[in-house]
Amino acid sequence: MSIVAVKVLSTVNAPYGTTLSAEQLASKISDPASALSFDPAVFSFFSEVDEKLQISFLDEMHVDPTIASELARKFSTLAGYPLPLARAAPLSCLECGLEQRRPGNPALQNAALSQQA
């Protein structure tokens, strides 16, 4: 496993006690359903992993950066604050099909708590 994958996975897996592989995370960060299910590992990737490391991971795992950026915008809308990969033209709630949430989003917090249990 590359150093990029090790750094990303330690950041994403540790808080939630998960054991996602690099391939599993890559699949999740390119799947729009991750936003609909408030996937805490994907949110952790977009919010806690350094932007340069995110880009390196996307490149290493052959994840389409456009798809990842679109998903980051959806998570940014849910969280109520900007995420690094979401900087391109923002999506409105109607465009992303999700209800806008404010910081301290209970849905994301509940998803994170349920993953810990």
Task: Using alpha carbons, list the distances in angstroms from residue 60 to 44, 70, 71, 79, 82.
Answer: 18, 19, 18, 27, 24
Q: How many CB atoms lie within 10 A of CB 2?
A: 12
Report, as an integer, the average pLDDT of 18-29. 95
Higher pLDDT: 108 or 54? It is 54
Domain containing residue 52: 3-116
pTM, two decimal places: 0.73
For residue 56, what pLDDT is reported?
A: 94
Is the pLDDT assigned to residue 91 strictly greater than 60?
Answer: no
User: Each residue of 42-67: pLDDT tens digit?
Assistant: 999 999 999 999 999 999 999 999 99
What DSSP designation does 1 have?
A: -
Query: At 88, is the pLDDT very low, low, confident or very high (cuts 50, 70, 90)?
Result: low
- In the predicted model, is pLDDT for residue 105 greater than 90? no
Return the pLDDT at 109. Answer: 44
Residues 70/53, Cβ–Cβ less than 8 Å: no
User: Number of folded domains in the chain?
Assistant: 1
pLDDT at 112 over 50: no
